[in-house]
Structure 1
Amino acid sequence: MPAADPKPSTPAAADGTQPGAPDVAGRRWVEHVATVPPADAYPGVDELLAAFRALAARHPERVTERRIGTSGLGEPLLCFSVRADTTATPRTIDSPRSPDPDDTAPHYVVVGGVHPNEPVGAVTALHLATALCEDPSLRGHFGGEWHVVPCVDPDGARLNEGWFRSPTDKRLYGRHFYRPAGDKQVEWTFPFAYRDAYFDRVLPETFALMRLIDATRPRFLTTLHNCEAGGVYYYLSSPAPELYPVLEAIPAAAGIPLATGEPEAAHTPRHAPAVYGCIDMRDAYDHLDGLGADAAAEIAGSSSAAYAARYGTFYFVTEVPHWSHPEADDGTPLPRRHADVIRERAASLRATGLLLGGLLDRALPHLTLRTPFLAAVRAFVPSLVTAADLETNRAAELPDRPATVADRYACLHSAHSCRIRFGGMLLRALAAEITAGTAGPVVRACHAELLAVYEGWEAEADPVTGEPIPVATLAGVQYAALLAAADHARTAAGTAEGDRT
């Protein structure tokens, strides 16, 4: 997708605001960026749930704790509901509710930890729940009931806790990184049927969210995500032009750029700089099919956005980066073509996939521990070569235009990210055998060889990744944007097309 052009300077209006700046209501939400208390670390699962339970104990008349399901490893999945009106009957989440024309109170659903390597939402969710309990004007403005799931994938989150305590340490991040394969991710395992694709292997965590969405029929739904490096970007289930100025102003207030270069999903519609429509698996299928891929084999399930669409829910995501880089929002044209930077990324993905794949093939017959890290790399590593083929095919069909600095940055960073993420998980899989005392000579040799390569990858990725952003700043941006989007949903009629899956 074309990146944004450099922003020209424009004269201020009589009230001092810039053309296109947020209105008075929008500026109100921008001010919330600075309200999150300082934090040096992300909470682990136990610490996070303890903080929510302490909040519920302080406000028993307003907060209700409920179990909505059970994780794959048997851990309770909890939801904390905060009511604006304490005389209202709390929403029952045990079964779907029937439409009630007299029930006009809005319901808002906020879900943290849908990807276990994305912990910013834990801080955001706790701050939101605390503010709703302590600020009567905030409760009164939104009304209704907020349903906050602090962490919907505790099993996966625990496998990232090794870097949660030092979130600015890039080396620690890569070596303690974990993300499950696509068909084991909560966000991408909702039921899906389209053309030759059919998915019904719903995870227990996903099923818990399905029941929560069915029970509340939310006016607003956000799943709390964060990216790795660069700038801020957003996903919306339907266009909302009145939101775009405030979504631009919120990261600007925090000194974080937007991510206006090559998007992470090329098939998503672009509504404004760094503002996209939701990643739709039907569009993804058609996109992959058009590039010559076996789309049904590449796609798992659908998303929470698609599932909630049947209720006219406005779905919203803010992606905030752990590390900031000014090139993420630099629209300066380069003396190179857009297709060329796509091909360069494809070449890097191919080289990474072949190297990691070779090590994995050598080690696999000698591995005895079926760890989550091994399961993840067995899915991700082959996909790198497939992705390289598809990117090469896509580059051949792109319009002939110059690449921007932001395009080049997005492609370069994403290639480094694949090295750090998937190489780090393969290191963890091999190291688990060494720690357990089950590693033979081949496994030890593969680990040593990968470690030497990986240290070089870490050094090369460091300047591309950028500078760390304080935890409170990231959560503040996500919190302010969440409130602005929820306010839009509060006043806008449900206009979603409805779920076609």
Structure 2
Amino acid sequence: MRTSLYPAVDELERRARALVRAAPGLLRLGQVGESRAGRPLWLLSAGHGDRHILSVAGAHANEPVGGASALRLAALFARRPGLLEPLGCTWHFLLCLDPDGAHLAHGWQPEEPEPSLTECHRYFYRPAFARQPESLPMPPGKPLPESAALVRLLDELRPVAQFTLHGIEFGGAFVMMTREVPGAADDFRQTAARLRVPVDRHPVDGPDWRLDPPGVLVLPDGHGEGERDPSGFVAESTWFHPRRHGTLTTLIETPAWAVPSVSDVRPVTDPDREIARLSEVLLGRSRELTAVLGTRLEAAVPEDLAPLRDAARELLDVAPSIVASWAAEPPGRFQGHFATRGISARRIPLRVAAMASRALARTDPRAAEILDDLVREWSRELEKTYDLRWMPVAVQTGLHVRTMLTTARLVCGGS
């Protein structure tokens, strides 16, 4: 059987069971919950230390690299169990937090060495915010079953560290940490440099977090209510929940296609003009999508495709607030700052077109065809504008694995 570069959900379980068979005294696999559709949530555990570390993969359906990274590190422990001993920990891997979303997104596999950005987006799905399991509703809202399972696991394990493994389609690498760990930021940047992965100097994520440039965001002291990310992120999250146990949460973002210009430190002479130009890219493409879609996203679609419709509609609706948030930021000074926002301005409408096309494919094939043309056009424009460079999957997972290991050593005091 061919091994996928990005393992599908069922393949994650199959490969995890093979690892357990190869290292039965070290590794074990158990179920820790179910998804909304009744799919199992699998936890692969390595070692028998008193302290615990948890790695969470597959929190977003469009980011399959996390599962590949989890399997890679578990396989490393199976070959070299001595790596765990200095940490004094048991290391757990939640192989896919959103298996339902992963099933809807799965289909595209990169054909290295030259995969297609257009083909990648033919299978694209990123759930609407309320369907993302790392998000916890503000009380008295009821969490998703996947979210509740993760919270139970965090409260049971009380891990010293939680790593959440993310992957962006194109851009630069960065990390977000819920507290500062001396040496961790420099280790991450050195790892990225060795792997030749550009670091995003000023990510668009976490606008209220403290930036330690390049590429590191740290949660400010006293952070609570008021997260203002217009994409919907609020203070309640499975990232923040285990702070009551003293847990460090580190989000690691690695790109599939790297954009070197996100690291560019050359000065910008007219920041206001740059923001106005990029804002018009996002708003102009949003208007173009609105003209194509009209009321089509309000019409009925097959039940299995409704999540695609809902996600596309939500993302299109937040575009103006994203532009407003850029205008409210302190003026950027470097080319990399505007490269990151230019990527975001193009990523959002591309995602909308891709998901809306899939949602309408059966009920309105003509509209789906027009949207497919936009996916092709905008993908090509991205490749031309930003000189996208494919990162082999081994490099993507390498950034995850090395960052987890170096951070864990700092937190646990291992050598």
After TM superposition, is the score higher than 0.5?
A: yes
**Whole-Å separation in 2 of the counterparts to 1:456 and 1:287:** 32
Q: 1:176 corresponds to which residue?
A: 123
**Whole-Å separation in 2 of the counterparts to 1:265 and 1:410:** 13
Match of 1:244 among 181, 185, 209: 185
Which secondary structure does the structure 2 equivalent of 1:267 belong to? coil
**Whole-Å separation in 2 of the counterparts to 1:471 and 1:233:** 17
Q: 2:294 corresponds to which residue?
A: 361
Q: 2:313 corresponds to which residue?
A: 378
Which secondary structure does the structure 2 equivalent of 1:241 belong to? coil
Which secondary structure does the structure 2 equivalent of 1:305 belong to? coil
Contact (CA 8 Å) 2:301, 2:360: kept in 1 or not?
no
Q: 2:378 corresponds to which residue?
A: 457
Letter paired with 1:155: D
* Pairing 1:163–2:127 present: no
Q: 1:95 corresponds to which residue?
A: none
**Whole-Å separation in 2 of the counterparts to 1:245 and 1:232:** 13
Match of 2:367 among 431, 446, 451: 446
Q: How many residues are treated as equivalent by the alignment?
A: 407
Flag the 1:129–1:298 CA change in 2: closer, same or farther, 3 A: closer
Contact (CA 8 Å) 2:98, 2:133: kept in 1 or not?
yes
Match of 1:331 among 262, 265, 269: 265
Which secondary structure does the structure 2 equivalent of 1:159 belong to? helix
Which secondary structure does the structure 1 equivalent of 2:226 belong to? helix
Question: Which stretches in structure 2 are left out of the alignment for 5+ residues?
Answer: none
Question: Which stretches in structure 1 are left out of the alignment for 5+ residues?
Answer: 1-38, 86-104, 193-197, 289-294, 434-438, 493-501
Contact (CA 8 Å) 1:45, 1:157: kept in 2 or not?
yes
Letter paired with 2:340: A
1:383-462 correspondence runs (5 A): 383-392=318-327, 394=328, 398-399=330-331, 403-431=333-361, 433=362, 439=363, 443-462=364-383
Contact (CA 8 Å) 1:343, 1:391: kept in 2 or not?
no
Contact (CA 8 Å) 2:228, 2:234: kept in 1 or not?
no
Larger radius of gyration: 1
User: 1:218-268, CA deviations, whole angstroms, 9 ceiling, x for partnerless residues?
Assistant: 011111111222321111111123222211110111111211145333222
Contact (CA 8 Å) 2:208, 2:227: kept in 1 or not?
no
- Shifted more, 214-223 versus 316-325: the winner is 316-325
User: 1:134-180, CA deviations, whole angstroms, 9 ceiling, x for partnerless residues?
Assistant: 21320212122111111111111122221135473211111111000
Contact (CA 8 Å) 2:357, 2:369: kept in 1 or not?
no
Q: 1:142 corresponds to which residue?
A: 87
Match of 2:155 among 208, 214, 238: 214
Which secondary structure does the structure 2 equivalent of 1:69 belong to? strand
1:35-434 correspondence runs (5 A): 41-84=5-48, 105-166=50-111, 168-188=115-135, 190-192=136-138, 198=139, 200-278=141-219, 285=226, 287=228, 298=232, 302-337=236-271, 339-364=272-297, 366-370=299-303, 371=305, 372-392=307-327, 394=328, 398-399=330-331, 403-431=333-361, 433=362
Letter paired with 2:124: F
Which secondary structure does the structure 1 equivalent of 2:208 belong to? coil
* Pairing 1:490–2:412 present: yes
Contact (CA 8 Å) 1:357, 1:382: kept in 2 or not?
no
Letter paired with 2:240: A
**Whole-Å separation in 2 of the counterparts to 1:216 and 1:413:** 38
Flag the 1:154–1:280 CA change in 2: closer, same or farther, 3 A: farther
**Whole-Å separation in 2 of the counterparts to 1:281 and 1:157:** 35
Which secondary structure does the structure 2 equivalent of 1:164 belong to? coil
Flag the 1:83–1:299 CA change in 2: closer, same or farther, 3 A: closer
Which secondary structure does the structure 1 equivalent of 2:295 belong to? helix
Instruction: Give the deviation of 1:460 after TM superposition.
Output: 0.9
**Whole-Å separation in 1 of the counterparts to 2:96 and 2:323:** 33
Flag the 1:140–1:452 CA change in 2: closer, same or farther, 3 A: closer
**Whole-Å separation in 1 of the counterparts to 2:167 and 2:221:** 19
Contact (CA 8 Å) 1:153, 1:205: kept in 2 or not?
yes
Letter paired with 1:240: V
- Shifted more, 472-481 versus 380-389: the winner is 380-389
Contact (CA 8 Å) 2:129, 2:232: kept in 1 or not?
no
- TM-score norm. by structure 2 comes to 0.90
Which secondary structure does the structure 2 equivalent of 1:78 belong to? strand
RMSD value over aligned CA atoms?
2.5
Contact (CA 8 Å) 1:280, 1:306: kept in 2 or not?
no
Contact (CA 8 Å) 2:226, 2:235: kept in 1 or not?
no
> Percentage identity across aligned positions?
27
